[in-house]
Structure formats: C-alpha cells, structure tokens
C-alpha cells in the first residue's frame, strides 16, 4: 500500500512568487495534517483536516497561506506571495482519525523542501 | 511556550554506549508518540504509549510513559550508527498532534 505522497520534493522560487504543494494521503485516512519544519526543529502544525473540513487552522498565516482538501482526499497548500522566511520543509501527514489513541498515529510524506530566493 | 520539551537537544555518543532522551510537559496527554526522522525524510512512528507507567520495548529501544502521563523517556541500549537521527515526541490531547523540537542523536562508529 502506498504511503503519503507529496509533490514536488523540491521547489525553488523567487520571493513574491506563488507556490503550491500537493498531498495524497493514505487511502481511508480521514485526518490530514500540514506541518512546517525548519532545519533542526520539530514539525509545527499549520492546518488539520477531518475529511474535507478544516478543524484547526489557527496557526496558518491566512494573509498568504491557503489550503484545501476537496472531497476529503487530496490536499493542496498554497503560498501567495512567498517570502524569504517561508523557506522550510512542508510535511503532509495523515491518520485514521477518530477517538482511539492509535487512530492519531501519523504517517508522513517525504516533504517538500521550499527555498525562496 | 513549547508544550513538549525534549532534552537533550543534541547528543553525540560512541557506538555501543547507552543513552536516554526525555520528553516533558506540564500537560496531561491521552497518549504520546515517538518518531524518528532521517535527513530528507518525514518522521516515522516508532511507538505509541497510552497508559501511565507503560513500558514498551522495540529491540534495543525502551519507551516509558510517566505515571501522570505528562512525560516520557526513550532509552537506547548499545547504540549503533543506524540509530542516528532526529527523535521526536508528539502528544495527543484530543487536539492536533503537537511535536517537541526533537533530540538530534549522532552515533559515531
């Protein structure tokens, strides 16, 4: 079974340009996360979806970041316009979802490394 | 304020040594997960601990959940170069999974 798939793996853009990341979670996983990870740091949550509903987006900088999860499966994360400080790894993860603790176990994609120049 | 504090931040040891890393919080968690992340990859789940005082073993790795479910430790016996990586703990409080900043372990042959 395929794991969480993210694309692209790497992206280099000039500041003020738009960029989009795509994530295909594990089939059957209701919960989808987007995390940002700076070098040497732990992942920081940007947004969490339960099916197609964004249930926690308090950490998402809404002036420039947007996300969607149409039909509760694939998701895209967009930055427009990108700033130098947005350079980081953007990780997508999915989990089964639901009340059981084991259902929160997250499976991560390889991430997209964004460099803004 | 970081919800989960991991220590030490960095650890460099010789092959064959034992080590313990810690994950501490003032909050109670319904479960706590440990992940290992290698360069260029996403974190990979190692274990989930659910019950206060629970101990789980995964080969040379021993995970313990504190009695009060506020802290956890990871002990590695006879570390090997393949154990090198970023060890992350993540807490579940029926809210989005929250990660610590991690302990970066380097095991030198």
Chain B residues close to A33, C-beta within 8 Å: 96-97
Chain B residue with Cα closest to A54:
B96
B96·A48 Cβ contact <8 A: yes
Q: How far is B13 from chain A (nearest CA, A)?
A: 18
Q: How far apart are CA B27 and CA B42, in angstroms?
A: 26
Is A70 a residue whose pLDDT tops 60?
yes
Is A27 a residue whose pLDDT tops 70?
yes
Task: Identify the CA nearest to A61 among candidates A39, A44, A49.
Answer: A44
A111·B88 Cβ contact <8 A: no
pLDDT value for A111: 97
**Strand bridging mode B103-108 / B10-14:** parallel
Strands (E), A8-101: 10-13, 19-24, 31-37, 44-50, 53-56, 65-68, 75-79, 88-95
Hey, what are B62's tokens? 């021993």
* Tens digit of pLDDT at every position of chain B (109 positions): 568 999 999 999 999 999 999 999 999 998 999 999 998 999 999 999 999 999 999 999 999 999 999 999 999 999 999 999 999 999 987 667 889 999 999 999 9
Chain B residue with Cα closest to A32:
B96
Report the percentage of chain A scoring pLDDT > 90. Answer: 80
Model confidence band, residue A100 (pLDDT cutoffs 50, 70, 90): low
Model confidence band, residue A101 (pLDDT cutoffs 50, 70, 90): low
């Amino acid at each position: 079974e395929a794991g969480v798939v993210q694309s692209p793996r790497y992206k280099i853009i000039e500041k003020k340009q738009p960029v989009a990341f795509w994530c295909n979670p594990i089939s059957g996983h209701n919960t989808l996360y987007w995390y940002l990870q700076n070098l040497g740091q732990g992942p920081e949550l940007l947004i969490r979806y339960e099916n197609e509903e964004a249930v926690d987006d308090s950490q998402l900088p809404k002036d420039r970041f947007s996300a969607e999860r149409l039909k509760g499966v694939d998701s895209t994360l967009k930055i427009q316009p990108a700033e130098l400080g947005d350079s980081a790894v953007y990780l997508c993860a999915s989990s089964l979802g639901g009340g059981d603790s084991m259902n929160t176990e997250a499976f991560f994609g390889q991430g997209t490394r964004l460099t803004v120049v | 304020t970081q919800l989960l504090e991991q220590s030490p931040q960095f650890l460099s040891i010789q092959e064959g040594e034992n080590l313990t890393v810690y994950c501490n919080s003032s909050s109670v968690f319904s479960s706590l997960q440990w992940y290992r992340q290698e360069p260029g990859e996403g974190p990979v789940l190692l274990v989930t601990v659910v019950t206060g005082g629970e101990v789980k073993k995964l080969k040379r790795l021993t995970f313990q959940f504190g009695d009060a479910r506020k802290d956890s430790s990871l002990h590695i016996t006879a570390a090997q170069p393949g154990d090198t990586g970023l060890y992350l703990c993540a807490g579940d409080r029926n809210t989005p999974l929250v990660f610590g900043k991690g302990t970066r372990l380097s095991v030198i042959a």
